[in-house]
Amino acid sequence: MTPRQRVQATFAGRPADRVPVNYLCNEGIDRRLKSHFGLARDDAEGLRRALGVDFRSVNPRYTGPKLHADPPGVTADDWGIRRRWVEHEAGGYWDYCDWPLRDATVEQVDAWPMPDPDDYDYAGVADACRRFDDYYILAGHPGIGDSINSCGMLRTMEQVLIDLATDEPAGLRLMDRRCEINREIMRRTLAAADGRIDMLWIGEDLGTQRGPTLSLAMFRKHIRPRLQRFVDVAAEFDVPVMIHSCGSSSWAFEDFIDMGIRAADTLQPEARDMAPADLKRRFGGRLAFHGMISTAGAVTYGRPIDVVEDVRRTLEIMKPGGGYALAPTHQLQDNSPTENVLALYEAARELGVY
């Protein structure tokens, strides 16, 4: 099977030759893996081929003007989200260090510069789709469609949760502005791909490790309607949707199914009510699954033999009947030993064969 055929069959519950795999990473481990395979630091495609990855992501490149100045020692992205690079012993991470819209009014939110959907290279989407024709192509990413995380990067997580609880006009206006801009970008992306996007990837982190971040009633009032706009856009192009949600999020899965979402991503097995066997029993055949190999487990803290056993246990539960693509629960972290990550993908290829 081609990678595309493999994932299509798996997500449809049909027989495939092996379980598909995907790859998500932080910069440090990505750099070490490329060095291991003798690849250039910018050879992302070479690394995915070396690991046997079945998925490719295609999104338009922003070509517009820089909208936000970089404060000293800080990088501001196109949305004005401010980060600084913090080194640690295994590599580093981008730390959210300032929240310019924390105390903003509705008028200030309306005046805040945000990307224009006109300022993206949609022609590049079609080119990338042709280049990755044998692969299962995802458009979007876990930061598309989300209200809590991305708005929290501008407003603080605490304030966003207060916004949801109190119907704060400025916070809700920020959610809607981001939602409408990203929805239009995704609509134009799907149109430019001319039928070659296989799945739209959206996200909204709904859980902590111990339980829900918000109530089901609040989810249905504020979060679900905004996510539904993306599901509806995908439906216009007959494209299924996968949703990323970290932590204890299975409480929302019935709503995902009712919304028309086809696959759930992340699936942190250590979080409450996220045990693989339970998810398979409750939702198998109604939702496809993507993830479930914990980045806070054996791949980080164990030995290669522990990683292989983690993959084996997961596949024994998730492999029967299809509907599962093996992937890290989030980005592989810099403190994951290189040999453990290599063991992960070798075990996935060998043990995932039907």
pLDDT tens for 319-334 read 999 999 999 999 999 9
The reply to whether 43 falls in a domain is yes
The reply to whether 326 falls in a domain is yes
The reply to whether 162 falls in a domain is yes
The reply to whether 83 falls in a domain is no
The reply to whether 295 falls in a domain is yes
Angstrom distance (rounded) from CA 261 to CA 239: 10
The reply to whether 80 falls in a domain is no
The reply to whether 190 falls in a domain is yes
Task: Please tell me the total count of domains within the chain.
Answer: 1
Q: What is the mean pLDDT of the chain?
A: 97
Beta bridge partners of 85: 94
The reply to whether 107 falls in a domain is no
- Domain extent for 309: 3-64+121-351
pLDDT digits (tens, 9 = 90+) for 221-237: 999 999 999 999 999 99
pLDDT digits (tens, 9 = 90+) for 291-324: 999 999 999 999 999 999 999 999 999 999 999 9
Q: Say what the pTM is.
A: 0.97
pLDDT digits (tens, 9 = 90+) for 73-105: 999 999 999 999 999 988 899 999 999 999 999
Q: Are 82 and 71 in contact (CB under 8 A)?
A: yes
pLDDT band of 18, cuts 50, 70, 90: very high
Across the range 177-192, mean pLDDT stands at: 98
pLDDT of residue 35: 98
pLDDT band of 256, cuts 50, 70, 90: very high
Domain CATH number, residue 138: 3.20.20.210
